[in-house]
């Protein structure tokens, strides 16, 4: 090949590479376009569904707008407020859905991902609006059903009120009968419940009268009937308290008698513990508790008309007596424990004192005043331990004697070695 054409093979190679690159770019672009067209086709079903939901939500908003006017006319603004709130929220979501749909309908091209995201958002907005409107409509429908059933409810509620009034009359008669046997304090809770029941029945009767007037006109009566039902329920609960007071009093009497018998047995045991008690303070405290408990038993006749107070007083004094008995047992336990340990403690102190005395004797004049003072104190504490009638105090003295004797021995050893000089 002539030297002047040396570049021709390179040109051919580079040209072929450029052609291959161009073909690849074109191929990739065609592939991307086909993929985009496929995704646009897949998203059309979602777009169609979103458009259908827009129509459904728009119709629901229009219907709800008319329903608000009907609800205000039928029940007043307060009841219609929930429907209006749901309507305004649905309108806001529908406006956003319309804006997104307008964006989808614009001539400007959009990617498949954008169209899919907008369509999905439209569907969510419309479904949320429809759900809120459906809930508000269901609540309003329930209110209308209650109003339609109100005419049937009033007679039944009148029957309930009359029945409760008869129960109240009988319960009041029962309270009057019990009042000849029991004090006003014993019947106080029941009388208060009876007064509440009477007030609730009066309120329920007034509410039923109002509901009948409302039903005769055009006013809604469901709320008034709900008030009447609540008052009748309260009256029933309070009447149950009044009707059960006789059984409660009988149970309190039985409980008080049982507690009194148990207290009598406790007093017998407590007197024995007091007489055997060696600790003067514990004996005095136990004696005071025994006196208070005995006084409560003696005064039971004064509380015969109030079994609740009788039961509670006996229970309280039994608790106080048990606390005093426990304290006395603890005090006696300390004395018994000290008495059991005293002999050994004295023996230890005596042995330690002998050891200390021997150490001082061996050291002779070299032992100073400190060691001799400790030994003298140990011997004095030993005398106290042997003569003290209180075992606890005697045990403490014996232990102090052992400690002082131990100190005396140590000081004597120190002086004997010459380190103390």
- Across the chain, which has 421 residues, the per-10-residue mean pLDDT values are 57 64 58 52 75 86 75 62 78 86 75 83 88 78 59 80 93 92 92 94 90 72 80 93 93 92 91 85 88 88 82 92 90 83 88 90 86 90 88 88 91 76 47
Pairwise CA distance, residues 140 & 129, whole Å: 17
Pairwise CA distance, residues 151 & 225, whole Å: 10
Using the structure block, give the residue that is written with the tokens 């065609």. 30
CA separation (Å) from 108 to 37, 81, 103, 123, 223? 16, 42, 9, 22, 56
Total number of residues shown for the chain: 421
pLDDT at residue 36, rounded to an integer = 47
Handedness of CA 115, 117, 118, 122 (dihedral sign): positive
pLDDT at residue 1, rounded to an integer = 46
Output phi, psi for 197, to 5 deg: -65, -40
Cα 148 to its chain centre, rounded Å, is 42
3-state secondary structure of 75: helix
pLDDT at residue 143, rounded to an integer = 64
- Give the Cβ contact number of residue 263 at 10 Å: 20
Pairwise CA distance, residues 295 & 292, whole Å: 5
Pairwise CA distance, residues 257 & 206, whole Å: 47
Pick the closest to residue 249 from 197, 347, 175 (CA basis).
175
Which residues, at least 6 apart from 141, have a Cβ–Cβ distance to it below 8 Å? Answer: none
Tokens of 308: 């609740």
């Amino acid at each position: 090949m002539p030297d002047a054409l040396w570049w021709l093979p390179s040109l051919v190679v580079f040209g072929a590479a450029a052609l291959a690159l161009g073909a690849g770019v074109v191929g990739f672009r065609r592939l991307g376009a086909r993929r985009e067209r496929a995704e646009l086709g897949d998203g059309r079903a979602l777009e169609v569904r979103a458009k259908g939901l827009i129509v459904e939500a728009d119709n629901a908003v229009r219907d709800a707008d008319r329903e608000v006017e009907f609800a205000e006319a039928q029940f007043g603004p307060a009841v219609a407020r929930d429907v209006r709130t749901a309507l305004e929220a649905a309108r806001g979501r529908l406006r956003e859905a319309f804006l997104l749909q307008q964006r989808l309908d614009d001539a400007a091209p959009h990617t498949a991902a954008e169209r899919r995201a907008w369509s999905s958002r439209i569907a969510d907005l419309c479904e949320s609006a429809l759900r809120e409107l459906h809930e508000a409509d269901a609540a309003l429908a329930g209110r209308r059903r209650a109003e339609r059933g109100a005419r049937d409810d009033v007679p039944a509620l009148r029957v309930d009120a009359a029945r409760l009034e008869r129960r109240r009359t009988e319960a009041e008669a029962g309270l009057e009968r019990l009042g000849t046997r029991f004090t006003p304090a014993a019947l106080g809770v029941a009388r208060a419940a009876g007064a509440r029941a009477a007030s609730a029945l009066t309120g329920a009767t007034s509410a039923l009268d109002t509901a009948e007037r409302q039903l005769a006109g055009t006013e809604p009566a469901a709320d008034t009937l709900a008030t009447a039902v609540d008052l009748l329920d309260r009256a029933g609960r309070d009447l149950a308290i009044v009707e059960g007071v006789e059984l409660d009093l009988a149970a309190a009497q039985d409980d008080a008698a049982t507690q009194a018998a148990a207290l009598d047995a406790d007093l017998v045991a407590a007197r024995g513990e007091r007489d055997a008690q060696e600790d003067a303070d514990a004996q005095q405290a136990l004696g005071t508790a025994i006196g208070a408990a005995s006084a409560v038993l003696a005064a039971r006749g004064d509380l015969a008309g109030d079994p609740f107070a009788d039961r509670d007083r006996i229970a309280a004094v039994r608790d106080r007596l048990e606390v005093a008995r426990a304290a006395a047992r603890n005090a006696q336990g300390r004395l018994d424990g000290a008495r059991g340990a005293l002999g050994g403690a004295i023996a230890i102190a005596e042995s330690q004192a002998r050891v200390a005395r021997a150490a001082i004797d061996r050291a002779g004049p070299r032992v100073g005043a400190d060691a001799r003072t400790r030994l003298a104190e140990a011997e004095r504490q030993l005398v106290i331990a042997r003569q003290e009638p209180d075992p606890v105090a005697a045990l403490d003295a014996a232990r102090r004697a052992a400690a002082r004797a131990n100190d005396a021995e140590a000081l004597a050893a120190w002086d004997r070695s010459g380190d103390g000089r």
